[in-house]
Amino acid sequence: MPIRLTRRGRIVVFVFLLAVVGGIAALVSAPGQAADPPGPVPTVVVQPGDTLWDIAGRVKGDRGRNATVEDIRRLNNLDGYGIDAGQRLILPRTR
């Protein structure tokens, strides 16, 4: 026996589906916690005698030093671990 909806039933179903689509759209469009906060990108100029591990130790935040070194290498497209005095490095944002 097929289900028959009255006019009121069709309106209720339509409004319900509209609310579900609106909720999904709101979840998808809202920025999450993974988004970086707005503002200038943190950088540092390498001083003579600095190493990646020294810089990472100063800016590591909640992460460990090794993870921060790898983040700095990734952000600056560094193949190795050597850096030069006067070089400007992009730093990961600390949370």
Q: What is the pLDDT of residues 19-78, one digit of tens each?
A: 999 988 887 776 665 565 677 888 999 999 999 999 999 887 777 889 999 999 999 999
Q: What is the pLDDT of residue 25?
A: 86
Average pLDDT over residues 77-85: 93
Cα separation of 78 and 94, whole Å? 20
Q: What is the pLDDT of residue 37?
A: 62
Name, in order, each residue with C-beta under 8 angstroms of 67's C-beta and a sequence gap of 6 or more: 60
More confident residue, 24 or 18: 18
Average pLDDT over residues 71-90: 93
SS3 19: helix
- Give residue 93's Cα distance to chain centre: 10
